[in-house]
Structure 1
Amino acid sequence: MTETARVIGARRAAGSSSPLGARTGGNAIDRGRKKLFVPFVGPAFLFYTILFVVPALYAVWISFNKWAGAGPMEFVGLKNYVRLFSDKLFMQSFVNTLLLLFVVGIAIFVIAFGLTLVLRDMVGRKIARSVIFFPHLVNAMIFGVLAGFIFNPGGLVNTLLGGLGVTDPPAWLSHQNMFPLIMVMMTWITTGYFTTILMAGVDRIPPYYYEDCALAGANAWQRLRYVILPLTWDVFGTCAVLWTISSVKIFEIIWVFGGSTGQGMPPTQTWTTAVYTYVTAFSGESIPAYGAATASAVLSLALVSVLVVLLRRALKRDAVEF
């Protein structure tokens, strides 16, 4: 037992010898916390309730009604939800959202964690981190516009392929190829963001853990399995939740890049639930279907909520203090 442990044990023993004083002190702290709750937490809680909770509950109510955005509502119960699940376009949008969530998410975390391990001991890692993070700073709409110029029939990619002797380059802007391109672009745009978070998680590991691994003769795989992963597991959980929330909201790059085909809106093969919700509410029928659009948004919220709860439970580990 170290000297620090003996001191801590002595303090705990001294505190346990006076249970009345301990209870009195604990009660005083609890009363102080309750007094501070209203002036400090109360305004923030009220602000959150007014701006987020109330509109969310109102959106749920709208989803059970037929409404054009103005005038009276007509209560239709679950008809809007039945309509969504019988709509092939919504189901395709839902599948595309899941592809972005899982396929792109797995690609992002594999690449981000790989870059984290490569850059951990590299000279100039701060500069490399800035370069990797840069795509995340650029607005997604700008990437959508640039991608339209790069992949159009006379764009940069086909020009380079022509210089290499490719006489029949792929139709990048075809309806079948656009969504895979969007998935690749989202991987590139977002990887730097999560690489930065994971690198911060790895940087906080004290050096003596690596020193102990070296003294124990641990190889790179053992160091990764028994030190790096356990001590950054909470960071992985946070990143997974952040990506789950972000992936369901992807809209701008799909709308702008899909609009580069000249059809005014992206091809339906590239739609996600966010795009479907927007089109249904604002750019679809002559009479906007706010009820059906809100039902789509409520389903997206339900999907995110369920996945976040499952992720928190699946990635839950005992807290590691260091």
Structure 2
Amino acid sequence: MERAQRRTFWPFLLPALVVFTLFFVAPIVFSLWLGFQSWDGVGPASGRGLKNYTNLLHDPLFTTSLRNTALILVVGGALIFVISFAITVLLREMRDQKLVRYVLFFPVLVNPLVFGVMTGLLFRPTGIVNALLGDLGVGDPPKWLAQENLMTMIVAVTVWAGTGYYTTILMSGVEQIPSTYYEAAELDGAGAWGRFRHVTLPLSWDVVTVCALLWTISSVKVFELVLVFGGSTGGTPPNNTYTTALYVYESAFSARTTRDFGVSSAAALVSLVLIAAVAVLLRRMMRRDAIQLS
């Protein structure tokens, strides 16, 4: 039996291994090599050594993109988890929660481009939001889509779009907690905050850790929303809205500057290393001994 299993191991594994190598490993290796080159995608590549990486360190636009990505990661992540946990606690007390969960999860099915366009229509100077504020007597409504407010709007829409997804995951973990734990906490005099602190959070910690890692990875890929918000007038987004994903895209395909796939690959690799370091650090910080439910 063991010999037969060994004989069938490679025939079953090989197709998936070939696909993984061609579409994942090979592009990563090529990007590693390309990060040390200068290439416009047409002519021959020329070696640049570490110059692409040293230029990134002195590029204020790349520094801005790192700062904005960190803003989405930290501020957006904190808001998402606070709101998701609040909704999870409320849903747990509801009888008919399925419909609410479907409504909350619906934004996950919508492309971020749609959110960007819809938000632009709602918050433009002549949009619905300002019209409602005018009816309420607000004579000078905020300039929602002004350049200095764009990152705030991007973070807000990102939180809105991602809350339902993480609420669904957190809810799946909270539902596994026996109700007797909450009943015992209530008998001990624990209020809503006490039940959350001593029952919900510790017993769903593994799910929280997974959500934190998923959000860390997702925050680096915020791209379409920034492109729609910043480039809604047909031009390129303002420099103060750049994220690392947008910087990588603009370095390779921008029409306003010289295209350089070497710089783009170097920026992508730096972003990958930084986010991997954050993910490892986060995993170590959130590591706890497993709690056995009985």
Of residues 85, 88, 91 in structure 1, which corresponds to 2:63? 91
Q: What letter corresponds to residue 75 of structure 1 in structure 2?
A: G
Of residues 135, 151, 160 in structure 2, which corresponds to 1:163? 135
Corresponding residue number in structure 2 for 1:71: 43
Q: Which runs of 4+ in 1 moved over 6 A?
A: none
Corresponding residue number in structure 2 for 1:257: 229
Choose 304-313 or 269-278, whichever is displaced more: 304-313
Structure 2 unaligned residues grouped into runs of 5+: none
Choose 306-315 or 288-297, whichever is displaced more: 306-315
Corresponding residue number in structure 2 for 1:318: 289
Pairing 1:1-12 to 2, within 5 Å after superposition: none
Distance (whole Å) between structure 2 residues aligned to residue 210 and residue 153 of structure 1: 49
| Closer/same/farther in 2, CA of residues 32 and 114 from structure 1, 3 Å limit | farther
Equivalent pairs: percent with the same residue?
A: 49
Distance (whole Å) between structure 2 residues aligned to residue 204 and residue 40 of structure 1: 35
Distance (whole Å) between structure 2 residues aligned to residue 121 and residue 191 of structure 1: 19
Distance (whole Å) between structure 2 residues aligned to residue 36 and residue 305 of structure 1: 35
| Closer/same/farther in 2, CA of residues 217 and 180 from structure 1, 3 Å limit | closer
- Alignment TM-score, normalising by the size of structure 1: 0.84
Choose 35-44 or 151-160, whichever is displaced more: 35-44
1:242: Cα distance to partner?
Answer: 0.7
Distance (whole Å) between structure 1 residues aligned to residue 14 and residue 92 of structure 2: 42
Corresponding residue number in structure 1 for 2:248: 277
Pairing 1:1-322 to 2, within 5 Å after superposition: 37-214=9-186, 218-260=190-232, 262-322=233-293
| Closer/same/farther in 2, CA of residues 41 and 227 from structure 1, 3 Å limit | farther
Distance (whole Å) between structure 1 residues aligned to residue 147 and residue 80 of structure 2: 24
3-state SS of the aligned residue for 2:171? helix
| Closer/same/farther in 2, CA of residues 119 and 286 from structure 1, 3 Å limit | closer
Bigger radius of gyration:
1
Q: What letter corresponds to residue 307 of structure 1 in structure 2?
A: V
1:210: Cα distance to partner?
Answer: 3.3
1:229: Cα distance to partner?
Answer: 1.8
State the aligned residue count: 293
Distance (whole Å) between structure 2 residues aligned to residue 38 and residue 216 of structure 1: 58
Distance (whole Å) between structure 2 residues aligned to residue 83 and residue 143 of structure 1: 34
1:33: Cα distance to partner?
Answer: 7.2
- Alignment TM-score, normalising by the size of structure 2: 0.91
Distance (whole Å) between structure 2 residues aligned to residue 58 and residue 129 of structure 1: 43
3-state SS of the aligned residue for 2:290? coil
| Closer/same/farther in 2, CA of residues 207 and 46 from structure 1, 3 Å limit | farther
1:226: Cα distance to partner?
Answer: 3.4
Structure 1 unaligned residues grouped into runs of 5+: 1-27
